[in-house]
Structure 1
Amino acid sequence: MCADTPETHDYKSTLNLPKTDFPMRAGLPKREPNWLARWEEIGVYDRLREKAGRKPFTLHDGPPYANGHLHIGHALNKTIKDMIVRSHQMMGFDARYIPGWDCHGLPIEWKIEEQYRKKGRDKDQVPINEFRGECREFARGWVDVQREEFKRLGVQGNWADPYLTMDFHAERVIAEEFMKFLMNGTLYQGSKPVMWSPVEQTALAEAEVEYHDKDSFTIWVKFDVVADGDLSGAKVVIWTTTPWTMPSNKAVVYGAGISYGLYEVTATPDECWANAGDKYLLADNLAADVFGRARLEDGQWTRLRDVTNDELADISLKHPLAGAEGANGEWDDLRDFRAAEFVTDTEGTGFVHCAPSHGLEEYELYRDLGMLADVITYNVNPDGRFRDDLPFFGGKAILKPNGKEGNANAAIIDKLVEVGGLLARGKIKHSYPHSWRSKAPVIYRNTPQWFAAIDKVVGDGLDTHGKTIRERALTEIDNVNWTPKSGRNRLHSMMEARPDWVLSRQRAWGVPLTCFTKKGVLPTDDDFLLRNAAVNARVVEAFEAEGADCWYEDGAKERFLGGIVNPDDYDQVMDILDVWFDSGSTHAFTLRDREDGTEDGIADVYMEGTDQHRGWFHSSLLQSVGTTGRAPYRNVVTHGFTLDAKGMKMSKSIGNTIVPEKIVQQYGADILRLWVAQTDYTADQRIGDEILKGVADSYRRLRNTMRYMLGSLNDFTEADRVEPADMPELERWVLHRLAELDAQVRDGYAKFDFQGVFQAVFTFATVDLSAFYFDIRKDALYCDGDTLRRRSARTVLDILFHRLTTWLAPILVFTTEEIWLERFPGEGSSVHLTDIPETPQSWLDADLAAKWAQVRAARRVVTAALEVQRVEKVIGASLEAAPVVYVADADQRAALESVSFEDVSITSDITVSGDDAPADAFRLPETEGVAVVFAKAEGDKCERCWKVLPDVGSHTHGGVCGRCDTAVDEANAG
C-alpha cells in the first residue's frame, strides 16, 4: 500500500534541480564597464606582476598613431595582442604588456596645419617650438581617447605608464640610436630620387605609400639619331607615362639582348604625327603596336633591316627640344645612349627614356658608371613646380596643392607636338603610388636626403650575423619564428631588394637628425659629418631633461658645440627623422630601458598587420641590426585586413565601415572578441551584421553550457569530491577528453592559434558535453540521491568549470569573470588572477576512449531511430522506449553490455543482441553493424524521473521507481 495518495504526489522539491542566479541574457554592453572598474580597483595587472618565480614573456606593442578614434583594424589588433598576453600569463608566464603610441610625424603636423589654415594663420610665421607644442598636445589628447577605447575592449596592460615616442626619454633614445648610425659610418647625405609628396613637401618611405589606380598621360616621343650611314636622321622612340620628366631627360637606354629593326613609314593617314619617309628604330616585338598607336595601318610601314648592338653603341641622340626657339640651349647637349639591363621588349618601344633625377633604376645605372654629375638635374621644386627659370615650363605644377593634376604634363605634351617631337599620345589607368596621409599622388624627385647605407660594412664589432645591415637583417630573419610562415618570405624578399634607408624628412614635428656638417666640405669628404662623442653626450643629456624641442631653441648650436669645436665651422641639420625610425627604435627605450622590459632587450612577440612587413617589422629589424647586430623579436605574428561582409575593403566613401564602438554598444566587447577568436586572423577576415549574429549565437550556446554547470554545482563542497580512480567510466572518459584538450589548448595558445583553441573548446562544450555527457548525466544529477554516480558527475563538473573558464578567459574576458564570480565572489577574486590548472597526464586512457567511441557510435543509431518514432508521434520522449539494438561486432557488443546503455541512450530499458538484425531494422549508413528495432518500454511512468519501469508504484512513495523512492527518503531526511 503506497503511503501517498495520487493527489499529494509532488516530488519537485526532492529533485536536485540546478540553482543559479547567473542570467541567461548576458546584457554585456551595460555590465562590462562594471568589471572594468572592478579590475582597476583591485589592480589585476599589478597583482599579476607580483607573482614571483615566473619566466617573463613580453609582447612589444606596435604603436598605433595618436590621431583619431579606433577603427575595426585597431580592435582586431589589440584583441589578438590581449589574447596572446593573457593566455601566456595563464600558462605560467609573467606576461607583460606595455601599450605604446606613435606621436610624431606628418599626420599630426598636417592636422595642426589644417587648423591654422582655417584660422588664416601661416605656419611659417609661428615659432617652431610653439608649433611643436601644439602637435604635442594634439597627440596627448588622442592618446587619452584611444587609451579608454582600448580598455573598453577588455585589453589589459600597463595603461598607467605606456610608452610614447614623444616622451623626453624616448626622444633622447631615438636621437641616441640615430647617433649610432652617425658614429659607425653608415649615415651619409646623398642626392638621389626618393618618393616625394609635392602636397606635403616631404620625402616618404615605402611604408607611407599606398597604391591606387590613376589615369596618366602616356606619350611616344621621338629622339633624332646622330650617326653615320642610313641611321642618320632616323628616330629612336621612347614611351613614358610621366611626360613631366621629359625636361629632365639625360639619356636613352636599350636592351643588349633585344632584337631591333630599322623601320620606314611608307604612307600616312590624316591627323598623324609621322611622315612618309620617316625612319624609326624600334624593338621588333613592339613595332606593330607603336605604329598602331601612331594611327598607321598595316602596309603603311615596312621593316628595312636589322639593327645590331654594335650599331646602337655608335649612336648619339638629340633631345626633342634641342634647338627649339626660346630654349636657351637647355637641351642642346647630345643625350647619352647605352645598354641597360632593366630594358625589356614586353611593353613600350624597347627604348627607355632616362631622367636619373626621377627614376631609381636610371639613378643607380649612372651612379655605378660614375656619371651622376653629368645626368642629375634640379628642375622640380619641393612643391612639385618646375624651377622658375626652366624654359617653356618654369612655374608649371606637376600637381596642384590639392593633389589634382597640374598643368605641367599638358604644357610639355603641347610643346612636344609643336616641335614635332611626338609620335603618339594617350591615357593609361595604372596602379600608382599615393601618400597614405594626403591621398595625393607622389613623384620620384632628386633631393638631398640623409640615408643609412645598408650595404656598407659596419665598423661596430657586432658582425656575428653579418658585416652590413642587409646581411644581418637577412640572417636574423631566419632566426625568427613567423606566424604565418609566409611572413618570412615576404620580409626576406623586401630586405633583399630594398635601397638605402631614407632617414630624413623636411618637416617640423619629430626627433631631429642630431648631427652637424662642416661648412665648405663636400658630403663625400670624411670630415663632412661631425662625429664627436662629447657633443653627442651633451645632446642626449639635454633631450633627457628637456625633450627634442631644445634642438630648435635659439643658440642651440653654440650650446651643443661650444667649448668642444668651433660652432662657426658647422651647420646644424634641421630635418627630422622618418617616424619609422622612431617606431623602429621603440625596442630600445621600452624593452631595454624600462624595469618592466626584458633583460636582453628582445621581445618574445611583435604582432601587427601584414602591411607592417614593409613598415614596423621592417624598420624595427633594420634599426636593431644596425645598432645591436640582431633582431628585436623572437616571434612575429601577422594578421590580415578586415573587410566588410561582402569581402570589400572598408571605406568611408562607400559607407561600409564598421566602428568598434557601435559593436560594443550593441553586442558587448566579448562578442567582438569572440569574432576575433572565431576568424582566421592570419588572412583577411570579414565582419558584418549577419556574421556578428552568428557569433552571438555561438556565445549564447556557450553561455548556456556554463550556466548549466553553475546550476549543477550550486552547493558542491570538497566533501562531495570523488577521486578519478573511483569514478564510473563515463566520468573517466570526460577526464580523458579534458587531458587531450588541455594539451591542444596549451599548444594552440603557444602558437597564437586562437581560432583552433576556440573551435576545440566550443566543439567540446557543445558536442561532447551539452549534447552527450550533460544529456546523459542530467538524470543522475537531478534524480539520484547521494550516490557515487552523482558525486562523481559533480566532481567532473567542478573540474570542467575550472578548465573551461580559464581556457576561455583570454578570449571572453568579461563573461568568464562573471562566471567565476558567480562561484567565487570574494572581494579580490578574479579568474584573471588564476592560471589554467595543470591537468594530469594520468587521466589519458586511450583504451577507454576507443571503447566509448564504439558506445557513442551505437548511441547515434539509437537516437536517430527514436527520433523517427517521435516525429511520427509514436512516442513523446525517448524514455518511453525500450529498443532492441543489434550489434554485429562482438567487441562493440561487449562494450555496450558493460555500461548502462539504456542510460547512455536515455531510454527506460534497452536490449543488446548479437543476433542478425531484421531486414526492416533502422540503420545509419555511416555506422555499419548496428541496427535498431523500436519497442515501447513496459511499466508505468515514474512521476519523479519520468522513466517507464515495471516497478513504478510498488514502493513506499506512490508513483515512483525504486531509485526515486530511496532518493525521496534521503531528501525528506535531509
Structure 2
Amino acid sequence: MSAETQDYKDTLNLPRTEFPMRAGLPQREPDWLARWERIGVYDRLRDKAKTTARQPFTLHDGPPYANGHLHIGHALNKILKDMVVRSQQMMGRDARYIPGWDCHGLPIEWKIEEQYRAKGLDKDDVPVVDFRQECRKFAEGWVEIQREEFKRLGITGTWDKPYLTMDFHAEAVIAAEFQKFLMTGTLYQGSKPVMWSPVEKTALAEAEIEYHEHKSHTIWVPFRIRKTAGEGAQEASDLRNARVVIWTTTPWTIPSNKAIAYNPKLTYGLYHVDGTQDESWTSIGDLYLFADALAEECLAKARVTAFTRIRTVAAAEFDGMICDHPFNGMDGANGFWDYDVPMIDGDHVTDEAGTGFVHTAPSHGADDFDCFVKRNWLDRMTHNVGEESEFLPHVPFFAGLKVLDHKGKEGKANTAVIEKLVEAKAIIARGQLKHSYPHSWRSKAPVIFRNTPQWFAAIDKPVGDGQDTYGTTIRQRALTSIDQLVTWTPQTGRNRLYSMIEARPDWVLSRQRAWGVPLTCFTKVGALPTDPDFLLRNIDVNERILAAFEAEGADAWYKDGAKERFLSGIVNPAEWNKVDDILDVWFDSGSTHAFVLRDRADGSEDGLADLYLEGTDQHRGWFHSSMLQACGTRGRAPYRGVLTHGFTLDEKGNKMSKSLGNTVAPEQVVKQYGADILRLWVAQSDYTADLRIGPEILKGTADGYRRLRNTMRFLLGSLADFRESDRVEPADMPELERWVLHRLAELDSRVRTGYAAYDFQGVFQAVFNFATVDLSAFYFDIRKDALYCDGDTPRRRAARTVLDILFHRLTTWLAPVLVFTMEEVWLERFPGEDSSVHLQDIPATPADWLDAELAAKWARVRSARRVVTAALEVQRTAKVIGASLEAAPMVHVADADLLELLGSVVFEDVCITSAVGLSSAPAPDDAFSLPDVPGVAVVFHAADGDKCERCWKILPDVGRNAHPGVCGRCDAALT
C-alpha cells in the first residue's frame, strides 16, 4: 500500500456474524435437544393450537419393537414421520405425534427363555405371571434406550407420555377389541393348516413370514390305481396296472397323504416304459400317468431311456378313480395307511412343474385343505405332526422323528420317509431343489404347514354390528375403505394392499405363547367348536375382565383362580374352560387406533389418523392388520392416508447385513456428522424406492449441507443490524429485488404443495437449487457490491429487506428437515430463552409478488449474462484478468427487443464488471458466443480507469473525488 493509499476496509458494510462455517453438529446438537425440552416446544405448540383455530393433523406411529438398538431403517422411518409432523405444523395445522412401542410377543419371550436356559432353568417350571413380569421388565429397558436414540435424531413428540401396548389401559382395550370379535360372531375356533414355527412352537401369520432360499428334497412317487373310474369299461382296462405319479418337495407330508389332485383343463397321457438305465427305479413295461407337458422331463429324472405314449387319458377317467397310499399293506404299519386315496379335481394343479398331479395332504397345505373343505371332508384330516415338527407316537415307522430340529435345521423325517418309500418300491426318482421357502422373520428358521386348532377371525362372515356403510364383512369393508377412504403415497401401495386383502384367508389370531394379551374367552366343557354355545358371550363377564385388566394388566388372566374370579356369580365356572392362548401381536398393534387415537386427549377428534407411515413390508404387516382389526370393530379403515417407504441398502444396492459388514448404524452417522446430515440424506432421497446409504453418499450429503450453510451465513452476516425502519415496500424496490420476491412466491407454492404431498425430496431440491443457484450464484453475487459498498441507499435498504424476507422463509421451509441447523440460524438472529424457529409458521407470501412478465424479462437477462460470464472465464483462464471487475466487455445483441431490455437494467452490475457496452452492430467473427444463446456475442475489453480502493471497480472517475482513490459512489458513501 502506497503512502497515499488509505485503508477503507473499516468503512465497508462487511457481513458480521458469529455463525461458524464449521457446524460441529455432533457436539452441539445435544444442547439444542436439551433446550427444546427445557422450554417445552412441543407442549407450547399444543397450547398454541388451543387458542387458535388450527385444523388437527394426526400421524399415528406404527410401533417399533422394543428389543434392540435402532438400525438405519428405524432412523429413516422416524425422520420421515418427523418431517411430516413438523411441516404440517409449520403450515398451520395442529400436528400431533405420539410415539409408541410394540412390547408383547415372541422375540422378547425368546430372549427371556434364553436367559433362563443360560441359568439352567426351564420356562415351564416358572409361574407364568413371573415369566411375564420378566418380559415386561425387558421391554421397559429397551423402550428407554430406543426413546433416547430416537430423540437424538431430533424427533419431536410426546416422549414423556408415549403409548406402550403393554400399558394396563392398552391391554384392556386390546382385550375389549377382541371381545367385539367374540360378541359379533366373527371369532371361531378352527382346525386347519397354518404356518407353524417348530423353533418358536407357535403359529405364525403371513406378516411374520419372510422368504429365503432353501434346499428341499424332491421325490417322484407313483400311486397304484386300485379302482378305475370306468370299472368294467374297455377303455379303463389299461389303467388298472398303471400308477399315478406325484412330485413333492416335502417328503415328510407323504404319511399324511389323503388324495391326489388333477386339473381337468390339462392334457394327460398314459406312458409305457420301453428302456431304462441300470440304476433306474422303474422297469420295462411299467405304466405311468403324467401331464403331457411334463412327462418327458419326469421320465428322464427316473432314468427312463425310452418310452411310448400309449394314449390320451381324459379327465373324466379320473372322476371316481381310487389309488392306494404308497405305504398301504406294509408290514409293521398295522393297516395305518390302508385307506382310499381318491383322485380329486383342483384348479391349483398346473403343468408348469412336477407331474401334473398334486399329492394332497389337507393337514399340511392351504390348497389341499381348501379342496377338502369344498367336499366337506374335514373328518379325513390327519393330526400326525406335533408342535416340535415331530411325528406323533401313533404314526408307524416315523414316530418321534422331526422335520426340523430345535434350531431349524433339517431333522430325520424327510430321509426316513424317502428310505421307506424306496423299501416299498414307491419312488421312481429323487433329487434336491433350491427354491424360495417361508421362514420366520424372527428366528430366521424354516416353517412348516401344520394342522392345529387355532382361533380365527372370519373375514367373509357378516359382522352384524350395524356398521355396514362400507360393507357387511371385514373383507368388504377393507376393500371399500382402500378405494373410497384412503389416500395412498405412492399410489402403488393401494394395489399391493388391495390384492393381499382380496386373496387372503381368515385371520389367525392365536399364538401358543405366554407374553401377550390373552384371548379373553371361555369355551363350553364338552362342546364342539361347531356348537352354537361353544363360546361364552356374556357382557357382564367381559366387563369384569376389562376392569381387572385396567387395574392389573393382562397378568390378571393368568393369576391363580382367574377363571372363578371372572365367572363366579355370573355363570358356573365348572362348565367353562379358560383359553390361555395369546393374541397375535399384530392384533395388538392393529388395535392401537383405539387406545391412542380414540382414547387419548391428544389423539384424534374422530379416532382416525390422517396418516400411517411405514415401510413397504407393512402392507402385509401393520397397515394390513390395522385395516382388518378396525373393519371388524368400527366398520372402516382407521386411517385416511398411508405413506410407504422403501428399504435401506448399501451404496452398491445390496441388502444390509452384519455378516457382510455393510450396515450403517444411525449412532455412528450421528457421531461422525450429526443428526442433521442423516435427516438431509432422508430429504434428498426418493423414499418411494429403496434408499442407498454409505460413506461416499454421506460425504456428498455433507458437502451439500455446507453449501446451504454458506447461504444462511451470508444472510445472517448481511442482516446483522437490520431494523424495521430499514424496510422497503415491494413497489419501491428495484427490479432485481422484485424478481427475487417473484421467485419466493413461486417457491412458496412449491414448498406448500410438496409438503402437503409428503414430497420432501422435491421440496428440498427446489429450495436447495434456489438457495445455491438463484441466490448464492446470482442474486447474492450481484448484490454483494451494493450491500458492502453502498451507503444508506434505497438500493441497499431494498436488498436487505429482501434478505430479511428470505431469512424467514428459508429457515421455516428448511426447519422440518434441518431441525438443528435452522434453530441455530434462528437463534443467531433472534436469541432469547423462549425463541425457537420451531414455534414459527411458514410466513404467508403475498400472491401479488408473482410477476410473470418480470420473470420472463429476467430470464432473458440471465441468459445474456451467461454469455458474458463465460467469455470472462476464458480471459481469466488465460490469465488476462484476475477478476471480472477488470473487464468492460462489449456485448453485441442482434435482437432489438433484447438490446432494449438489457439497456433497461444496470447490466454491468448484473455481470459484475466495471462497465458493459451494448451494441446492435454485427458481432466480429472472433466474438465469444454460446450455442444455446443465439444472437448474443461478447468482445472482451479491459476496463478503463483506475481501481477504486474501496469497491475495487475500475472506473474513470477514481481519484477525482473528495476522498482519495475512490469512485464517486464510494465517495458519496463516505461523506
TM range (shorter): over 0.9
Identity %: 72
Contact 2:719 2:800 in 1 (8 A): yes
Matched, 1:474 2:483: no
Q: 1:462 aligns with which of 448, 453, 467?
A: 467
Instruction: Name the counterpart of 1:531.
Output: 537
Following superposition, the deviation at residue 161 of structure 1 comes to 0.2
2:96 is matched by which residue type in structure 1?
A: R
Of 931, 937, 950, which aligns to 2:937?
931
Say whether residues 1:398 and 2:403 are aligned partners.
yes
Partners of 1:319 and 1:415 in 2: CA distance: 13
Q: Secondary structure at the match of 1:95?
A: strand
2:5 touches 2:965 (CA, 8 Å); kept in 1?
Answer: no
Shift of 1:434: 0.4
Q: Corresponding residue for 1:972?
A: none
Say whether residues 1:262 and 2:273 are aligned partners.
Answer: no
CA deviation profile, 1:438-476 (whole Å, cap 9, x unmatched): 111000100000000000011100011101000000000
> Could you tell which deviates more after superposition, 227-236 or 899-908?
227-236
Structure 2: distance between partners of 1:257 and 1:471: 31
Aligned position for 1:803: 809
1:502 Cα offset (Å): 0.2
Per the alignment, in what secondary structure is the counterpart of residue 50 of structure 1?
helix
Cα distance in 1 between the residues matched to 2:533 and 2:320: 42
Secondary structure at 2:958 match in 1: coil
- Distance in 2 of aligned mates of 1:8 and 1:437: 78
Structure 1 CA distance for aligned equivalents of residues 277 and 593 of structure 2: 67
Which residue pairs with 1:170 in the alignment?
A: 170
Q: Does 1:628 align with 2:634?
A: yes
Aligned-pair CA distance for 1:272: 0.5
Measured in 2, the distance between the counterparts of 1:572 and 1:334 equals: 39
Compare 929-938 and 77-86 and name the one that shifted more: 929-938
Opposite residue 426 of structure 1, the aligned amino acid is G
| Displacement of 1:520 | 1.1
- Tell me how far 1:934 sits from its aligned partner: 0.9
- Which of 9, 22, 39 pairs up with 1:42? 39
Letter in 1 for 2:459: I
Is there any run of 5+ residues in structure 1 with no aligned partner, and where?
970-974
- The residue correspondences of 1:2-81 to structure 2 (distance < 5 A) are 6-51=3-48, 52=51, 53-81=53-81
Structure 1 residue aligned with 2:234:
none
How much has 1:8 moved relative to structure 2?
Answer: 4.7
Could you tell me which of 493, 505, 512 is aligned with 1:506?
A: 512
Distance 1:139 1:35 in 2: 29
Deviations 1:287-338 (A, max 9, x none): 00000111122xx111111111121214210111100110111111120112
Task: Tell me the residue number matched to 1:436.
Answer: 441
Measured in 2, the distance between the counterparts of 1:269 and 1:633 equals: 65
What are the within-5 Å matches in structure 2 for residues 483-494 of structure 1?
A: 483-494=489-500
Q: 2:850 aligns with which of 844, 849, 852?
A: 844
Query: Following superposition of structure 1 onto structure 2, how do residues 559-570 of structure 1 map, counting pairs within 5 Å?
Result: 559-570=565-576
Query: What SS does structure 2 have at the residue aligned with 1:722?
Result: coil
- Letter of the structure 2 residue corresponding to residue 27 of structure 1: G
Q: Cα RMSD between the aligned structures? A: 0.9
Select 1:242's aligned residue among 239, 242, 250: 250
In the other structure, the counterpart of 1:448 is 453
8 Å CA contact retained: 1:720, 1:791: yes
Which residue does 1:304 correspond to in 2? Answer: 310
- Find the aligned partners of 2:332 and 2:900 in 1 and give their Cα distance: 106
Distance 1:395 1:415 in 2: 15
1:281 match:
289
Shift of 1:178: 0.3
Contact 2:886–2:954 (CA under 8 A) maintained in structure 1 = yes
Q: CA deviation at 1:339?
A: 1.3
Aligned mate of 1:381, from 377, 386, 389: 386
Corresponding position: 1:107 with 2:112: no
Paired amino acid for 1:20: T
CA distance in 2, matches of 1:892, 1:128: 86
* Equivalent AA in structure 2 for residue 467 of structure 1: T
Q: How big is the shift at 1:6?
A: 4.6
Instruction: Give the letter aligned to residue 477 of structure 1.
Output: I
Give the letter for the 1:38 counterpart: R
Correspondence for 2:946: 940
For residues 453 and 153 of structure 1, the distance between their equivalents in structure 2, rounded to whole angstroms, comes to 42
The AA in structure 2 aligned to 1:856 is R
CA shift for structure 1 position 407:
0.4
Matched, 1:313 2:313: no
Q: In the alignment, which residue of structure 2 is the partner of 1:217?
A: 217
Give the distance between the partners of 2:319 and 2:207, measured in 1 at CA. 40
Paired AA for residue 39 in structure 2: I
CA distance in 1, matches of 2:400, 2:726: 90
Q: Distance in 1 between matches of 2:746 and 2:10?
A: 39
From 573, 579, 588, give the equivalent of 2:585: 579
- CA–CA separation in structure 1 for the residues paired with 2:894 and 2:727: 39
Question: Match of 1:294?
Answer: 302
Count of residues in correspondence between the two structures: 963
* In structure 2, distance between residues paired with 1:460 and 1:885: 80
Provide closer, same or farther for how the CA distance between residues 363 and 5 of structure 1 changes in structure 2, counting only shifts above 3 A.
closer
Give the C-alpha shift of residue 890 in structure 1. Answer: 2.1
CA shift, 1:912, in A, is: 1.3
The letter of the residue matching 2:216 is S
Match of 2:919 in 1: 913
Map 1:104-143 → 2, pairs under 5 A: 104-143=104-143
Contact 1:6–1:959 under 8 Å retained in 2: no
Secondary structure of residue in 2 paired with 1:10: coil
Give distance in 1, aligned partners of 2:942 and 2:261.
Answer: 93
Q: CA–CA distance in 1 between the matches of 2:809 and 2:428?
A: 76
**Does the Cα contact within 8 Å between 1:5 and 1:958 map onto a contact in 2?**
no
Given residue 602 of structure 1, which amino acid in structure 2 is its aligned partner? L
One-letter amino acid of the structure 2 residue matched with residue 409 of structure 1: N
Cα distance in structure 2, aligned partners of 1:288 and 1:341: 23
Question: Which amino acid is 2:261 matched to?
Answer: V
Residues 674-725 of structure 1, C-alpha deviations (whole Å, 9 max, x = no match)? 0000000111000000000000000000001100110011111111110111
How much has 1:389 moved relative to structure 2? 2.3
Deviations 1:507-529 (A, max 9, x none): 00000000000011110111100
SS in 2 for 1:527: coil
CA distance in 1, matches of 2:487, 2:87: 18
**1:790-815 Cα shifts (integer Å, max 9, x gaps):** 01000000000000000000000000
Asked if the contact 2:320/2:342 (under 8 Å) is kept, the reply is no
Counterpart CA distance in 2 for 1:239 and 1:701 is 64
Specify the alignment match of 2:194 in structure 1. 194
| Amino acid in structure 2 at the alignment position of 1:680 | D
Show the 5 A alignment for 1:655-666.
655-666=661-672
Determine if the alignment matches structure 1 residue 416 to structure 2 residue 421. yes
The equivalent residue for 2:827 is 821
Q: What does the per-residue CA deviation read over 1:75-104, in whole Å, with 9 as the maximum and x for residues that have no partner?
A: 000000000000000011110000000000
- Equivalent residues of 2:875, 2:881 under 8 A apart: yes
What SS class does the counterpart of residue 189 from structure 2 fall into? strand
Once the two structures are superposed, the pairs formed by residues 702-721 of structure 1 within 5 Å of their partners are 702-721=708-727
2:445 matches 1:425: no
* Corresponding position of 1:834: 840
Name the amino acid aligned to 2:277.
P
Which letter maps to 1:240?
T
Q: Distance in 2 between matches of 1:431 and 1:963?
A: 78
Give 1:730's aligned residue: 736
2:627, 2:638 within 8 Å by CA — same for their partners in 1? yes
Aligned to 2:890: 884
Letter in 2 for 1:106: L
Query: How far is 1:891 from its partner?
Result: 2.1
Q: Which one-letter code corresponds to 1:728 in the other structure? A: P
1:213, 1:431 within 8 Å by CA — same for their partners in 2?
yes
Q: Distance in 2 between matches of 1:285 and 1:916?
A: 79
Give how far 1:41 is off: 0.4
Letter in 2 for 1:433: P
User: In structure 1, what is the Cα distance between the partners aligned to 2:668 and 2:374?
Assistant: 57
Give the residue type in structure 2 aligned to 1:826: G
Partner of 1:897: 903
Aligned to 1:541: 547
